[in-house]
Homo-oligomer: A and B are copies of this chain.
Amino acid sequence: MTGAKVHLEPLVRLALAEDLGPGDLTTALTVDPTVQAQAEIVAKQDLVLSGLDPARLTFSLVDPAIEFKPSAADGDRIKIGTVMVRLNGPAQGLLTAERVALNFLMRLSGVATLTARFVAAVRGSRAKIVDTRKTTPGLRFLEKAAVRAGGGVNHRCGLYDGILIKDNHIAAAGSITAAVTRAGTGAPHTLKVEVEVEDLAGLEEAIAAGADIVLLDNMSPEQLARAVALARGRVRLEASGGVNLDNVAQIAATGVDFISIGALTHSAPAVDLSLRFI
């Protein structure tokens, strides 16, 4: 997203610092500093690409003389065996930066690839696949971008760009009605009000109180279908809790608007990549 690169440099510096410490001993001792090399980053499985920006910055912070030439873009579907990036520059820098750059690409493409599987599973329904705040500490913005690369859409980014009233907020405010009303009055007018409910009575109360979106927590497909029928389009509905690749199509078929899935970011396995010298 435009402007997002402003945040990248501190994160990439942190990742480099923890990997390099005082420097790459093995490379310093075995590789002549004047040697130039060519390398390429290759997909070792089918995947959806994400993470080119932090990978590029990793190489350029280690050595600005390294050329980083991607042949694909974030969001592209990549077939196993495809060369995704060509690299050119001092062999020392390429070897020193390799691991950190791949760590970014493997994790973020992992998130994008898993997201794409969920998106494919609900194709044909009205449901959008959305992420949660269950992200890796420090990687929130990058993992949200990876979800978009995989065809998902983002839920709120943090506690500041969306109102989501959960059970404890309702308990503290006294009732769904009280909580929704207070949120609607005090929040910036650019934000909608979403509230989590546990049953159809809660859904009715939320609609009556003026909620814009209702999160249906851990409901069965049957309950979700009844909720959709009851809501009659007066609010948008988000299903959440216990979603996996086996049940997501069934959930989508209930007619909910959004299905949010923590596993997109907290449990996506890394994709398999390699950097090979040529």
Contact = CB atoms under 8 A, between A and B. Distances in A.
A172 interface: yes
A118 interface: no
Interface of A: 1-7, 10-33, 35, 37, 54, 61-62, 91-93, 95-97, 99-100, 102-104, 106-107, 110, 128, 130, 133-141, 144, 153-166, 168-173, 178-179, 182-183, 186-192, 194, 213, 236, 238, 257-258, 262-263, 266-267, 269-270, 277
A190 to B, nearest CB: 3
Contact of A3 (B103, B159, B188, B269): B159
Contact of A189 (B37, B92, B153, B262): B153
A277 B166 CA distance: 12
Contacts of A2: 23-24, 27-28, 31, 33, 62, 92-93, 95-96
Identical chains in the assembly: 6
Contact of A169 (B6, B95, B188): B95
The 6 A-B pairs of least Cβ separation, nearest first, read A1-B23, A162-B190, A21-B160, A15-B137, A161-B161, A267-B269
Interface centre among A134, A189, A258 (most CB of B within 10 A): A189
Nearest to A135: B103
A138 B139 contact: yes
Given A168-B95, A191-B162, A266 B270 contact: yes
B138 A138 contact: yes
B192 A11 contact: no
A138 B263 CA distance: 20
A26 B2 CA distance: 10
23 contacts: A3-B16, A3-B23, A4-B20, A14-B14, A14-B137, A18-B141, A21-B157, A21-B160, A22-B141, A22-B157, A22-B160, A23-B141, A25-B160, A26-B183, A30-B182, A99-B134, A100-B137, A161-B161, A162-B191, A189-B238, A190-B194, A263-B270, A267-B270
Contacts of A17: 6-7
Contact of A30 (B93, B169, B277): B169
B169 A26 contact: yes
A128 B185 CA distance: 10
Given A30-B183, A191-B190, A20 B266 contact: no
Contacts of A20: 3-4, 6-7, 158-160
A15 B158 CA distance: 11
A96 B6 CA distance: 11
